[in-house]
Structure 1
Amino acid sequence: MTHTTTRSVCLKVLIVGSGAREHALAWKFSTSKRISALYITPGNAGTDELGENLPDVDPADPAAITEAAVNRKVSHVVIGPEVPLAAGVADSLKNAGIAVIGPEKASAQLEASKQFSKNFMLRNKVPTAASVTIDSPKQLAGELAGRSGKVVLKKSGLAAGKGVLESDNTEELQSFGEEVLKEDSLIMEEFLTGFEVSIFALLDGRNYILLPPCADFKKAGIDDSGPNTGGMGAICPVPTVSNGLLARIEKDVVEPTIKGLVKENLMYTGVLYFGLMITESGPKLLEYNVRFGDPEAQVLLPLIESDIGNLIDAMAQGKLEDFPLRISEKSALGVVVASGGYPGPYKKGVRVDNLPKDNGKDCVLFHASTTLSPEGQILTGGGRCFTVVGLGSSPLSARAKAYSVVPEVQFKDSWYRPDIGKKFFTEN
């Protein structure tokens, strides 16, 4: 398929996924002057209002996605979640001559295998936590016996943001580790202290552009307590991240990563996430993801002022270096509304009783895995059901707007964290 640089050429875009991240992408693409058709597979009740959902196409089936794209003469496919990337959906689409925003299977290992990514970091001198790979319960017990204080255990493979345990309880760590080891290897890392920052780079196969820093809130409880979730909220930009810190992150972490990707023939067209802990000794990389985060995408995308059709076309053509990316000076804060019981067992198909009536300029609502009943009633379909994003001239005003709207999202046993962003405005 041939792609030209003429900005009048219309794009037909397919977004893969059903979460709030994909709704945010669909919302952003719906504002583009370049888009002539927008498809989402499988999509949700929110994306259904913006484009055509393809609910019967399996997002993790490379052949099915490729067939859907070819039949609809799609020009660009944007892959949201990690599972289709790890399954090789991008490889299949590229072989069919379709431009893809997302890495091939080989590069997707940066996220799909923590062991692979940790070895990549070490080879390319990217600062990271000291770690050891564990393959048996006996090895785990031996490692735990030789340590004191908190350690971090991570499932090596994909775990939807929940395959991590931070603890100083040996029994809890051993139990968690043994469960993981039934099907995967385990990474044990030193426990780092500081504050976490999410940095996203757009890649075009040669060059990169950094987006404003984000911070997400992974814990279920107030003050970052309780179990890990897929993310209960996010803020962008981060008030505590200075231009000097950003420059150091780029020099110490981003640049050696990009050089490593090029050297090892892993560079791709898409999004690369750097999950960082900012320690007293500087930034250290916790993990890579090879796509937009969720809920970070929901606060990042509203701040991109450039036409996203032009942006992904520049990425697909390897022309990011000359792209005049425009970012709003506003702030965004997102609050996730979750199902009762999440991140533990929860019910699906719960009737949504009320949603905010107005998606205005200063607040946007994104659905995650919602469906429509035959009668047109919106039903929940996951653990994290909606993200309410407030926009404002400052982080505080964005936060105030988000929390003024969150109570309007109503369904049985719904809940949300009341303190998203608060730690950035409270003196320790």
Structure 2
Amino acid sequence: MKVAVIGNGGREHAIAWKLSQSKRVKKIYCIPGNGGTALENKCENIDMKNIDEIINFVRKNNIELTIVGPEKYLVEGIVDEFKKEGLNIIGPNKKVSMLEGSKIYAKNFAKKYGVQTAKYKDFKDYNIAVDYIKTVRFPIVIKADGLAGGKGVIISKNFSEAKKTLNDFMNNDVFLGAGKNVLIEEYLEGYEMSIFILLDGENYKIFQTAKDHKKILEGEKGLNTGGMGAISPHPKLSMELMDKIKEKIIEPTISGIKEEKLNYNGILFIGLMIQENEPYLLEYNVRFGDPETQAMLPLLETDLLEIFNHIIEKKLDKINIKWKDNISCCVVLAAKGYPIKYEKGNEIKTNIDSYVFHAGTILKDGKLLTNGGRVLSIVDFGRNIKEARKRVYNKIKRIEFKDKYYRKDIGIM
């Protein structure tokens, strides 16, 4: 088979790497790919971003399956356009993708179908929102309604912080339209968990769990990022907690999807807050997470192509997904200044190539150069988190580029 992977991050490199291990995969087109996929086995980078261009390329090259990494393409309706052409693609359609494309839509969906989530109100008017925060108990959580690259969530400790956030989102338009409408939620105290579900339109299967570290600074402080590291599976997941997650989060979500006739095909990423051993929905994402994917896939023993084919054929109930009995740790190496301002074009020097997934890199004149804020995801695993952390941080010592930055506490709960 020839397959295509759309996207240029660490998540897409990890997907392409895992697909390359399948005996049934002949060629992988990475659209547009990065410096790592340019060097990956069976992979070729194709520099295009327009949906119509991608469809024409897939059709002309007889590509039998396409996997979408970034949410942007899904929200824009790439799946709908592929389906019109009779092309196989992994991902939900435009209507379903509103579960990620609009946090207000997602919260209203959760409320309608009884998914346990934080209390909230949504606002389209700045002045009304400011009047509301005069009445609340702090801290509160303010979320941009639309896509903001994982950065549109701010915890405000007092009125002045909250007012500034609302002004930045709604008036200064720091997220280019995504923050014009906002959610204001009660603050939940606990720990976060990511759980990934596969759906084929009829069946669903739990894929894996992970713990993401979103803040730029150690101790979960500073600005939100796209993710500075992850561990998988989540070390605090018990059978009792999983039963609650199924009952109060997953089952009502699946019921709502069926009730709304959303015909969901692909990956559903559910972000949770666990407060006093009770799960609360934080958000839905309609694709694999980044950097959770980089942490999860090295543990996967089942052929990823077979999993995707079972989604296409609506036979998820027929496949048994197997995992290594280990825990993995992924640490993101970023460019100093991320997520605000950072340099590009610095040479990367390394003598390791196992479980190193590229994100903000480019291959130019035979050299690997930095080309983004999150540069590399470094992964390793072990019998426990202590062993996994030791291995991954030893690897990091052997990778150099100018102004390399990473958190030292990934995997510490």
- Aligned letter for 1:216? D
1:240 counterpart SS class:
coil
User: C-alpha distance in 2, partners of 1:380/1:343?
Assistant: 14
User: C-alpha distance in 2, partners of 1:300/1:130?
Assistant: 31
Instruction: Name the structure 2 match of 1:118.
Output: 107
Instruction: Name the structure 2 match of 1:383.
Output: 373
Instruction: Name the structure 1 match of 2:21.
Output: 31
Instruction: Name the structure 2 match of 1:240.
Output: 236
- Aligned letter for 1:175? K
Instruction: Name the structure 1 match of 2:118.
Output: 129
2:301 counterpart SS class:
coil
- Aligned letter for 2:322? R
Instruction: Name the structure 1 match of 2:174.
Output: none
User: C-alpha distance in 2, partners of 1:193/1:422?
Assistant: 17
Match for residue 157 of structure 1 among 128, 132, 146 = 146
Instruction: Name the structure 2 match of 1:398.
Output: 388
- Aligned letter for 1:303? L
The two structures have a TM-score, normalised by structure 2, of: 0.96
User: C-alpha distance in 2, partners of 1:332/1:397?
Assistant: 9
Match for residue 135 of structure 2 among 120, 138, 146 = 146
* Structure 1 residues 166 and 356, CA gap change in structure 2 (3 angstroms): farther
- Aligned letter for 2:38? D
Instruction: Name the structure 1 match of 2:61.
Output: 72
Instruction: Determine what percentage of the aligned residue pairs are the same residue.
Output: 39
- Give aligned pairs, total: 405
Residues 155-178 of structure 1: CA deviation (Å, up to 9, x unaligned): 000001001110113222212212
2:81 counterpart SS class:
helix
Match for residue 156 of structure 2 among 141, 151, 167 = 167
Matched, 1:91 2:86: no
User: C-alpha distance in 2, partners of 1:272/1:302?
Assistant: 20
Instruction: Name the structure 1 match of 2:333.
Output: 337
- Aligned letter for 1:357? I
Deviation at 1:281, TM superposition (A): 6.1
Matched, 1:267 2:257: no
Instruction: Name the structure 2 match of 1:355.
Output: 350
Matched, 1:316 2:312: yes
Instruction: Name the structure 2 match of 1:296.
Output: 292
Matched, 1:218 2:208: no
User: C-alpha distance in 1, partners of 2:351/2:408?
Assistant: 18
User: C-alpha distance in 2, partners of 1:399/1:205?
Assistant: 38
User: C-alpha distance in 2, partners of 1:212/1:293?
Assistant: 11
2:290 counterpart SS class:
coil
Instruction: Name the structure 2 match of 1:305.
Output: 301
User: C-alpha distance in 2, partners of 1:53/1:341?
Assistant: 31
Is the Cα contact below 8 Å between 2:195 and 2:208 reproduced in 1? yes
Instruction: Name the structure 2 match of 1:43.
Output: 33
Is the Cα contact below 8 Å between 1:114 and 1:156 reproduced in 2? yes
Match for residue 187 of structure 1 among 183, 187, 193 = 183
1:35 counterpart SS class:
coil
Match for residue 94 of structure 2 among 82, 105, 130 = 105
- Aligned letter for 1:113? S
Moved more, 239-248 or 215-224: 239-248
Is the Cα contact below 8 Å between 1:16 and 1:80 reproduced in 2? yes
Residues 29-56 of structure 1: CA deviation (Å, up to 9, x unaligned): 0100111221110001111122443442
Residues 228-271 of structure 1: CA deviation (Å, up to 9, x unaligned): 11110000112211122112101210011011101101132110
Is the Cα contact below 8 Å between 1:88 and 1:104 reproduced in 2? yes
Deviation at 1:179, TM superposition (A): 2.2
Is the Cα contact below 8 Å between 1:234 and 1:299 reproduced in 2? yes
1:422 counterpart SS class:
coil
Is the Cα contact below 8 Å between 2:12 and 2:69 reproduced in 1? yes
Give unpaired runs (5+ residues) of structure 1: 1-10, 424-428
- Aligned letter for 2:374? R
Deviation at 1:87, TM superposition (A): 1.0
User: C-alpha distance in 2, partners of 1:57/1:73?
Assistant: 17
1:287 counterpart SS class:
strand
User: C-alpha distance in 2, partners of 1:12/1:370?
Assistant: 24
